[in-house]
Structure 1
Amino acid sequence: MSKPALTVHVVDDDEAFRDSLLWLLDSHGYPTRGHDSAEALLGAISPAESACLVADVRMPGLSGLELLDEMRAQGLRWPVIFITGHGDLPMAVQALRQGAFDFHEKPFDQTALFASVDRALALAAQQQAHAQSRARVDARLESLTQREREVLDLVVQGKMNKLIADALGISIKTVEVHRGKMMDKMQVRSVAELIHAVMSVADERVLP
């Protein structure tokens, strides 16, 4: 099965283990990048990048949990999979409570790890598509004049043209002109499509 083109970042201070895990993922078709610390990862990535992360929980410097918190603070919503030693299990459970995607105990089952990475990459791809869609809608909203945006807000509230005209102190004919231009700029054909587009920008919830 072909793998998503998104990168799997691996963070582990144990060079031998990190190289082994990178080789394993590479050999199964996953694009990868390795980092020897959480700080190295944070210095090498862009907030605009979509990817997934496989990381050790216990590391010098920033721990896995602290890395997860820092990524969230920077707006990075990557799915994070933790690799843990047996003694780190309580920490891994805490990581899940803080929003980690999954965790695997050493020695991990390769098939289970691949399945977890596949799910994480699918989620990352979904998040990427969602972000791109939001960016397109944002750009369309920015192209509206102030009056067109006022008309949009009232249309989304379910107001008919006469009520919009009364609210804005303009004629119904002028409302129709602004409404038509607004719908063209938003690239929608119906009020339902317009509402869906606006709600996709207003919705700040994290994808599951």
Structure 2
Amino acid sequence: MRNIYIVDDDDAVRASLQSLLATRPNLLVRTFRSGDAFLAEVKELDRGVLLLDVHMPGSSGIDVLRALPDSRQFASIVLTGQGNITLAVDAMKAGALDFVEKPYEHLALLQMVEGAFSRLETDSADAARVESARAKLARLSGRETDVLKGLIDGQANKVIAHHLDISPRTVEIYRAHLMEKLEVRSLSEALRVAFAAGLYPSG
């Protein structure tokens, strides 16, 4: 099931959105009548798409976006009044993925929601890749990490050996060990893991 959260103080708008989204398969819809009500439960909520009104009593839509504990947990679409581009820009700066003007067109909104779910799934896959790469990198010893950094900088074994004050043969041993720990067969694969984990060229 995919989760979508509607946060709007207008009962009619919430009901309309809920009816529209109920036509989509595998979609679990939850509604909140204020930004404060949503924020009170946000830590208990699963990842999902957030349809968020801007003007609400208490915490506004912008306030909610700024208060999210993890902006990557939600793909946020802000609902704004027609022609209110300034607010839409502020919402995007605060982390919203997109905005839709009221009154919204049903098909356009549904397409926007699908796009938000695609973005959320892509971000989730990217986060998993980064986490996996960092876990692999954490297996390396300090010396193996030094050798990997040298390889990232395009240095030959003998240059790395000179910088680390070890023999080229020792560099080869470290290189073999780090390839094994990173579960890769080629230098290009090792570099992909290093870059995914954020180990960028030191030079």
TM-score under structure 2 length normalisation: 0.84
Structure 2 counterpart of 1:183, one-letter code = M
What is the CA-CA distance between 1:130 and the residue it aligns to? 0.4
Judge which range, 52-61 or 90-99, deviates more: 90-99
Counterpart position of 2:186: 190
Counterpart position of 1:63: 60
Judge which range, 57-66 or 119-128, deviates more: 57-66
Judge which range, 58-67 or 99-108, deviates more: 99-108
**Contact kept in structure 1, 2:82 and 2:101, CA below 8 Å:** yes
Gaps of 5+ in 1: 204-208
Partner SS, residue 31 of structure 1: strand
Gaps of 5+ in 2: none
Residue 137 of structure 1 pairs with residue 133 of structure 2: yes
What is the CA-CA distance between 1:93 and the residue it aligns to? 4.0
Structure 1 counterpart of 2:148, one-letter code = L
Instruction: Supply the RMSD in Å over aligned alpha carbons.
Output: 2.4
Partner SS, residue 6 of structure 2: strand
Please, which of 14, 22, 27 is the counterpart of residue 18 of structure 2?
Answer: 22
What is the CA-CA distance between 1:110 and the residue it aligns to? 0.8
Equivalence map 1:83-102=2 (5 Å):
83-86=79-82, 88=84, 90-102=86-98
Partner SS, residue 20 of structure 1: helix
State the distance in 2 between where 1:94 and 1:197 align: 36
**Contact kept in structure 2, 1:161 and 1:175, CA below 8 Å:** yes
TM-score under structure 1 length normalisation: 0.83
Judge which range, 173-182 or 79-88, deviates more: 79-88
Residue 33 of structure 1 pairs with residue 30 of structure 2: yes
Q: How many residues were matched structurally?
A: 197
**Contact kept in structure 1, 2:71 and 2:95, CA below 8 Å:** no
Sort the Cα spacing of 1:137 and 1:38 in 2 relative to 1 into closer, same or farther, 3 A: same
